[in-house]
Structure 1
Amino acid sequence: MNATPAYQDASLPVDRRVEDLLSRMTLEEKAGQLFHSMLMMNADGTPVTETDGSMLPFTTPELVEDRFLTHFNLLGTYGAREMARWQNAVQEMAAATRLGIPVTLSTDPRHTFTDNIGASFNAGAFSAWPEALGLAAIGDPGLVHRFADTVRREYLAVGFRVALHPQIDLATEPRWARQSGTFGSDARLTAELVRAYVRGLQGPALGPGSVSAMVKHFPGGGPQKDGEDPHFAHGKEQVYPGGMREHHLEPFKAAIAAGCAQMMPYYGQPVGTDWEEVGFGFNKGVVTGLLREELGFDGIVCTDWGLLNDATIFGQTHPARAWGLEHLSTAERAARALEAGCDQFGGEQCPEVVVELVRSGRVTESRIDASVRRLLREKFTLGLFENPYVDPDLAEETVGRADFTALGAAAQRRSLTVLTNPSGLLPLAEGPRLHVRGVDEAVAAAYGEVVADPADADLAVLRLRTPYEPRENIFESFFHSGSLAFPEAELAEILDLLDRVPTLVCINLERAAVVPEIAERAAALIADYGASDAALLDVAFGRAAAEGRLPFELPRSMAAVAASRPDVPNDTHDPVFPHGHGLAL
C-alpha cells in the first residue's frame, strides 16, 4: 500500500509540504505555476472546451492538463451558482492531473458599477458598492474593512481566492483613466484605507478563510505622462517632474505592513529618474532593490497582464507591454522579469518559454524553484489542498445576500458628495413634477410626478458622466482617457436645460471632470462614484445623508490640467472645487 505523500498530509508544516511537492515536480510542472492566465466560462457553469482564439488562445483543459497552469482569473459576469459549479469543475480537472495541484482562482473587482474588461466588472450578482473613490470620499477605515470583509465572504462562496485589488495608486494626474479604482489623491488616507482593506480580505493572517490581496500597481501608477495609460504604447512613460516619487510609495509601505500577500508592478516605464528606463515588471532596481530588499516584501510578485507576447483583442493586435524592451524576444523578456524578481507572469500562458530558458542555461532551475515555493506556499496556506470545492447552494445564498446588499446601498448614499446648493434647493420637497435625464423614470416616479417636457416640471434631475475622448482602438475605448471637458455642443445642451428649469445635476466622477459652467448654473450639483438612481434621489429628498468629500480636486480648465505636474497631488491652478470639498445638507 502506497504511503500518502507528505504534501497531502495536512498535519505537516507548510514548508515541509512545499518541499515535498516541489521535489516531485517536473520542470514543466514547475513552469506552469509561473503563469497566471485568464479563463472564461460558459453561462451554464461549464468550462470552456472549445475556442476560436479570438479572446483566449487555449481551452481550459489545454491550460490545466497540458500546460500545467494552476492560477487563473475569470473574465466576465455570471450567476453565483454557475460560478460555483464552474470552479468545482475546474478543480476536478486539476485534481485529475498527476500531482493534483489545486487551482487558485482570482478576479478583478466585481462590486461596483464600472464594467471594463481590462480592469473590472460590474457587480452583477454581487453586492453593489461605490467605487474605491467613493469609499475614499467617505474616508472611514471601518467601512472599508466591512466592505473588504463582504468581498471576502462573497468571493469565498464562489471560489475566488485571490483579489486582483486593492488598487492604491495616487490619483495625481487628472486625466489618467484608472483613477476610479483608487482611493484618490491623498497618500495618508490611501495608506489608512489600504490597511483596513487588506485586513478585511485576508484577516489577521493569511489562512483558509482568507482571500489573498494582490495590491497594485507598484511603485504607484498615477504619474502617467499626459494622463495616458501604459496598457498602450503611447501611454508608457511615467514621470516625476515634481520630485514626489517617494510620496507615491507611502500607500505601498502601509500595504506591506498590513501583510498583503501579493504585489503587482505596473506597466509604466520610468523616465527621467535613476531607475532603469524599462517597464516596472522588468525593473530589477524596483522589484528586487526597492520592493524586496528596501521595503522587505517577501510575498508573491505577479506582473501585470501581457508583458511577454503580443495579443489579439477584439480582432486588433496589441503589442506586449514590454516597454523599453520591445526589441527583445519573448524568452528574453521572461528572463528579464525573472531576473528583476517577479514570480509570476500575468495574462500569459507560455510555460514552454521558461522550460527552454532553464534547459538552455539562461535561467537556473533554482531560480524557478524560489518562485514556485512562494506560489505553492500560498496554496497550502489558503487550505486549497484540503478544501478546493465550494457549495453552489451556499454560493447562491451568500452572493448578494440582503445584509451585504444593504451595506453597499448605504455606502452608495454616504459617498455622494454635495458640491453646490446655492439657493437651498436641497433637500427637495416631496412630490414635485420631475423631468429626468439619465435617470430611470420608473425609479423617479416614486419621488414625484415624472413629466416629459422640462417646461412642465418644477425641477429637473440630470445625471452625467465624466467626459472622455473616444478612441478608435476598441480595447482602449474601455479606458476613458483624454479631455475632461464636455464638448461644446454637449455642454450647450446641458446649459440650456439648466437655464430652462432649476436642475439638480449629478456627475459620476471616474476622473476629475472640468465643470465650471455647470457648477455655476446648476441649482445644485452632486458628485457620485457609483450609485443607483434610488441612492441619488434618497439623498436629494433628504431620506439619506450624503457624507462625501472630494477625493481629488476638480480643475477649472484643461489648460490648468496640462500645466500641472503628474506626480503632484491636487496641482492644478485655481480649481473649481478643492480636494476635500463637500457640503452638509
Structure 2
Amino acid sequence: MTDASTVAVPVAREGERPWLDADLPVEQRIDLLLAEMTLEEKAGLFFHTMITMGQDGELAGPDPTFGLPSTREYVIERRLNHFNLLGGAQTAGEIARWHNALQRLAASTRLGIPVTLSTDPRHSFTDNPGAAMMAGPFSQWPDTLGLAATRDPDLVERFGDIARQEYAAVGIRVALHPQVDLATEPRWSRQLQTFGEDAQVAGELGAAYIRGFQRGEAFGPGAVSTMVKHFPGGGPQQDGEDPHFEYGREQVYPGGKFELHLKPFEDAFAAGVRQVMPYYGMPIGTEYEAVGFGFNKSVLTGLLRERYGFEGVVCTDWGLITDADIMGQPFPARAWGVEHLSREERMVKIIDAGADQFGGEACPELLVTLVREGRISEERVDASARRLLREKFLLGLFEDPYVDEAAADAIVGSPEFRAAGDAAQRAALTVLANRDALLPLAKGLKLYVEGIAPDVAAAYGDVVDTPDEADVAVIRLQAPFEQRGSGFESFFHAGSLDFPAEVIARVNEVAAAVPTVVDVFLDRPAILTPIAETAHALVGNWGASAQALLDVLTGAAVAEGRLPFDLPRSMAAVEASRPDVPFDTEDPLFRFGHGLTL
C-alpha cells in the first residue's frame, strides 16, 4: 500500500502547466490540457468506477470483497480520476483525510489531473447498497419519497444545500442523484429514492433538489454537480422487476405514457442539472431501439442531445460492459438487448449512442485499443473528454482539490444539520387513519411497542411487556416483499405487496387486546387493507427515527405528510394496472395526497 501523504505534490512552474492559470477562460484551459494529454490519459477520464477507503483514512489496497484493484493501480497505472466512494461507516475526518491522500496521489501523475469523487445518496435510511449508503456521519433525512411527502420545495432545496455542504467538506463533488423516475409500477424496488407517482411533484421537487446541490445559478467552487437519473424514466418495469437483473430488463408502455415520464427530466434540465444517467432497462413496443438505454442512440442522441439540447455529461449506469463478481456471486453485465456483443462492441455502441462515461467500469486499455484500431475516432474521444474536464475546472478542482480535514467533523452531521434532518423526518410522517381519535396519544400512558427500543419509548410513557398490560400499542413494520435471491440481489425488494399471513395475524392479535397504532416503512406501496381493518391508527413513513414517530404520535410535532403515491387496495388491482400509467390501480385504499393533520 502506498502512503500518499509521502507523495510530493508537483509544483506547477509557469509554462509547464498553463491550464492551471485561473485567469484564462475555462474553454482555453481545456484546450491547453487536451493538447498535452496522451490517448491513455484521455481514456482514463471515461471510467467512473467504485473505490474504497483503507483503514483510518489510508488509501486502499486490493479489495477482494468487491473485486477492486488498489488505489495506486487505479490512479497511477490506469490513469483514472473519477470514483464513486463505497462504504459509509467512516467518520467525516477519516473520509476527508483519505480524500486528500487520494488527491495527492493524483497530483503526482504527469499532468496532475485532480480526482472527481462521487457518491450515491448518503443521508437516508435505506439499506440497499445498490441505491444508497447508510447515513453514517452525515445528517439523517427521510428518503426521497419522504421529501415528496412534505410537498415542500423550500425544504427540499434546504436539504440539497445541507447535503452539498456535508459532501463538499469531505471532498465529494458529484451526487449520483436525484432519481426523478416516476413510481408508476407499485411493485418496483427502486421507488424509495424517487419523488413518487406524480410527474408535476417529481419535477418541481427534483428541480429544488438540484438547485440546493448546485447552488442555483452559482455553480462553481463549493457546489456539487448532480447526475439526474434514470433517463428517460426507469419506472415502467415489466411486472415491477428491476433491470439490475436479466428477469427485469424490459420497460413497457401499455398505456402509451412514454412522454409523461420525461416531464421530471425537463424540469431538471430547466434547473441546470449538469449530468445525466440512463437506466439499464430496454424499451419494448416503442419507437426507440429495443436495447438498454445506455446503448440506445435513439434515446441518448436523438432524444437527450438533439431534442433537449443537453450538453452536459452522460454517464451510463454501472456495469454495462464487463461481467463482474459482487459479494462473492457472479453478476453479468447489464447489456440488455446486446448480450451477444463483445466487450469491445458494447463499448463502441455506448460511445456511438452518445455517452461520455462508463459507470462502474475500469478498462481504459479497451478504449485505447479501439481508437488505435480506428473503431472510435480520437475526435469523438476529445468531445467527451472536453465535457468531463469542464466539470473539473468549473468545480474549482484544479485550483484547490483539497479539503480542510480539521473542519470536516464539525461540518458533517453538525447539530444544526441534524436538527434539520430530524424535523424533515417528522414533517414527512403521514397519518393515514385515526379511528376514534386515538391520536395524539395522551402523556403517561402504558405503552407496548414492537420495532421500537424500549428505552426510547420510555421517554414517552411507561413501557410494559405485553399488550394486555398496555393502554396503547405501537407496532413498526417494513413493507412486505418477496426474496428474489441472496447477496446483492437480496437488497432489492420486489414481488408481492401483500403482508404475510403471520404478520396480519400478529397485528390482529395485538389490536384485539389494546388500541394499536401501526407504522409502516413504505419503501413500496404496501397493501394495507387487512391492517387498516383492525389497527386503530395507521401511519406511513419513508425513513423516520422512533423519536420522530413518537413525537408525531404524541402531538409534540404536527403530522403534515401527504402520500406521494396511491396505496392500492389489493394485489389484483396492482396486477391489472398499467406500469407506465400513474394512479392506475382501481379503487385504491388511500389516494395520492391523502394525509391527516393532527
Bin for the TM-score computed over the shorter chain: over 0.9
SS in 2 for 1:464: strand
- In 1, Cα distance between the equivalents of 2:254 and 2:508? 37
Shift, 1:166, TM fit = 0.4
Conserved 8 A contact 1:39-1:56: no
Question: Whole-Å Cα distance in 1 between the matches of residues 486 and 594 of structure 2?
Answer: 36
Cα drift, residue 43 of structure 1: 3.4
Encode CA deviations 1:83-113: one digit per residue, 9 max, x unaligned. 0001001001000000000000000000011
Equivalent residue letter for 2:141 = W
Equivalence for 2:78: 67
Match for residue 125 of structure 1? 137
Of residues 292, 301, 304 in structure 1, which corresponds to 2:317?
A: 304
**1:514 and 1:65 mapped to 2: Cα distance?**
53
- Structure-1 separation of matches of 2:218 and 2:405: 27
Output the amino acid matched with 2:188: W
Alignment-mate amino acid for residue 149 of structure 1: D
Structure 2: 5+ residue runs without aligned partners?
1-12
**Contact 1:136–1:184 (Cα < 8 Å) also in 2:** yes
Instruction: Give the distance between the partners of 2:143 and 2:489, measured in 1 at CA.
Output: 20
- Which amino acid letter does the alignment assign opposite residue 87 of structure 2? G
Q: Does 1:468 align with 2:520?
A: no
Deviation at 1:422, TM superposition (A): 1.5
Structure 2 distance, partners of 1:43, 1:64, is 19
Q: Which runs of 5+ in 1 are unaligned?
A: none
How far residue 473 of structure 1 moved from its aligned partner, in angstroms, is: 3.1
Q: Is the 8 A contact 1:266 1:304 kept in 2?
A: yes
TM-score by length of 1: 0.99
Deviation at 1:2, TM superposition (A): 6.0
Q: Which of these residues, 299, 318, 339, is aligned with residue 286 of structure 1?
A: 299
Distance 2:483 2:562 in 1: 29
Q: Deviations over 1:505-549 (max 9, x none)?
A: 100110100010101211100101100000000000000001111
- What number of residue pairs does the alignment pair up? 584
- Residue 479 of structure 1 aligns to which amino acid in structure 2? F
Percent of aligned positions with the same letter in both sequences? 61
- 1:258-315 deviations in Å (ceiling 9; x for gaps): 1100000000000011100000000001000000100111000000000000110111
Q: 1:179 is matched with which residue? A: 191
Residue equivalent to 1:58: 69
Q: Which residue of 1 aligns with 2:332?
A: 319
**Which stretch of the first structure deviates more once superposed, 196-205 or 32-41?**
196-205
Counterpart Cα distance in 1 of 2:244 and 2:508: 35
Aligned partners of 1:466, 1:368: CA distance in 2, in Å?
A: 46
Instruction: Compute the displacement of 1:55 (Å).
Output: 0.6
The yes-or-no answer on 1:553 pairing with 2:566 is yes
1:255 paired residue number: 268
Verify the 8 A CA contact 2:472 2:515 in the aligned structure 1: yes
Deviation for aligned residue 1:340: 0.3
Aligned 8 A contact 1:157 1:390 in 2: yes
**Shift in Å, 1:471:** 2.2
Partner of 1:197: 209
- Alignment partners' CA distance in 2, 1:49 and 1:131: 33
Equivalent residues in 2 for 1:498-537 (5 A)? 498-537=511-550
TM-score, reference length from structure 2 = 0.97
Please say if 1:272 is aligned against 2:301: no
Within the alignment, does 1:236 sit opposite 2:249 as a pair?
yes
Residue of structure 1 equivalent to 2:491: 478
SS at match of 1:44: helix
1:94-147 superposed Cα distances (whole Å, 9 cap, x missing partner):
000000000000000000111211110111110000111111111110011100
After the TM superposition, list the runs of 4 or more consecutive aligned residues in structure 1 that deviate by more than 3 angstroms.
Answer: none
Q: What corresponds to 1:459 in structure 2?
A: 472
CA–CA distance in structure 2, aligned partners of residues 467 and 119 of structure 1:
18
Instruction: Letter of the 1:59 partner, please give it.
Output: S
The offset of 1:499, in angstroms, is 1.6
Match of 2:87 among 37, 57, 76: 76
SS of 1:11 mapped into structure 2: coil
Q: How does 1:93-172 map to 2 (within 5 A)?
A: 93-172=105-184
Q: Distance in 1 between matches of 2:499 and 2:170?
A: 41
Alpha carbons 2:45, 2:80 under 8 Å: kept:
yes
Q: How many angstroms apart in 1 are the aligned matches of 2:564 and 2:82? A: 34
Encode CA deviations 1:307-365: one digit per residue, 9 max, x unaligned. 00011011111110010000001110010000000000000000011001101111101
Give the conservation status (yes or no) of the 8 Å contact 1:213–1:262. Answer: yes
- What is the deviation of 1:58? 1.1
What is the Cα deviation at residue 489 of structure 1?
A: 2.1
Supply the distance in 1 between the matched residues of 2:141 and 2:585 (Cα, whole angstroms): 30
Partner-residue secondary structure (3-state), 1:480? coil
**What's the secondary structure of 1:379's corresponding residue?**
helix
Deviations 1:406-444 (A, max 9, x none): 111001001100000020000000011100000111110
Partner Cα distance (2:541, 2:210) in 1: 25
- Residue 56 of structure 1: how far off its partner (Å): 2.9
Secondary structure of the residue aligned to 2:484 is coil
3-state DSSP class of the match of 1:390?
coil
Contact 1:205 1:259 in 2 (8 A): no
SS in 2 for 1:423: helix
What is residue 376 of structure 2 aligned with on the other side?
A: 363
Say if 2:62 and 2:68, in contact at 8 Å, map to a contact too.
no
Q: What is the one-letter code of the residue matched to 1:66?
A: E
Let me know the Cα RMSD of the aligned residues: 0.9
CA distance in 2: counterparts of 1:436 and 1:183, whole angstroms: 30
Distance in 1 separating the partners of 2:500 and 2:555: 33
SS of residue matched to 1:353: helix
- 1:49-105 deviations in Å (ceiling 9; x for gaps): 2333x3133111001000010000100012100000010010010000000000000
469-478 or 325-334, which deviates more = 469-478
Secondary structure of the residue aligned to 2:56 is coil
Q: Secondary structure at the match of 1:475?
A: helix
1:419 matched to 2:432? The reply is yes
For the residues of structure 2 that align with 1:51 and 1:402, how far apart are their CA atoms? 34
Matching of residue 433 in structure 1 with residue 446 in structure 2: yes
Q: Is the 8 A contact 2:118 2:173 kept in 1?
A: yes
Q: Secondary structure at the match of 1:149?
A: helix
| Residue identity matched to 1:243 | G
Contact in 1 for aligned 2:54/2:61 (Cα 8 Å): no
